[in-house]
Amino acid sequence: MYSPAAFAETDRDRQLDLVERHSFGCLMAADDQGGIEIAHLPFVLDRDAGPSGRLRAHVARANPIWRLATGGRPVVAVFSGPHGYVSPRWYEQPTRQVPTWNYAVVHAHGRAASPMSRDELIRLLDDLAGIHERGAAEPWSSSALDRELHENLLRGIVGLTIEIDRLEGKFKLSQNRSPADQARVARALAERGSPDDLDMARLMKARGEPG
């Protein structure tokens, strides 16, 4: 990933915070013909597994990406965080600027292990539901499923475990601008007030603090 030094995010905790907060990612694996297979998946991050963490996800058994991923090829999972348009109007000298786009992304490079066992797959699905049902008055769990249906569904999917070898983070948050312009952009984002804008303003503040 092309990442000028001003925008490179190398703090592991900030990288993994983005992965956890924006855990619906894009898994990519190359095939033998030079093509790229892509799957859009909800991931579970085990951030304390190894130096860079571990990802778990599942795909339909009919999806060819799992055979590519478990065949020893390197894979990349891409996680996109907040993003949005930045207007020249927000700068101290708007007539000397052009529009741009601020965003935050993390690429997780690694290799997938053999497909999960049945017990590992059940644990993944329970963890995934537990994360996203958190806070519900009556959280759903797989125990509510008809047993025969549960078994049939398990046979139709494959679980993947990806040990992360390397993380790349790019947080383009106006770091190449003056402190005054950075403050103007953060203020304008907060005033515009979309969820992405508020997340970007928060990241701009965090990016200026020691890791």
Return the structure tokens found at 118: 């049945």
Q: How far is CA 124 from CA 43, 97, 135, 194, in A?
A: 9, 48, 19, 32
In our burial notation (b when 16+ CB lie closer than 10 A, e otherwise), range 16-49 reads bbbbeebbebebbbeeeeeeebebebebbbebee
Distances (CA, A) of 142 to 56, 97, 123, 149, 169: 18, 54, 10, 10, 35
What pLDDT is stored for residue 36 in this prediction?
95
> Which pLDDT belongs to residue 210?
45
- How many angstroms separate the CA atoms of 104 and 8, rounded? 10
Per-residue pLDDT of the chain (211 residues; tens, 9 = 90+): 999 999 999 999 999 999 999 999 999 999 988 899 999 999 999 999 988 999 999 999 999 999 999 988 899 999 999 999 999 999 999 989 899 999 999 999 999 999 999 999 999 999 999 999 999 998 988 888 888 999 999 999 999 999 999 999 999 999 999 999 999 999 999 999 999 999 999 999 877 654 3
Q: What is the pLDDT of residue 208?
A: 62
Q: Is the four-CA dihedral 34, 55, 133, 202 of positive or negative sign?
A: negative
What is the model's pLDDT at position 83? 96
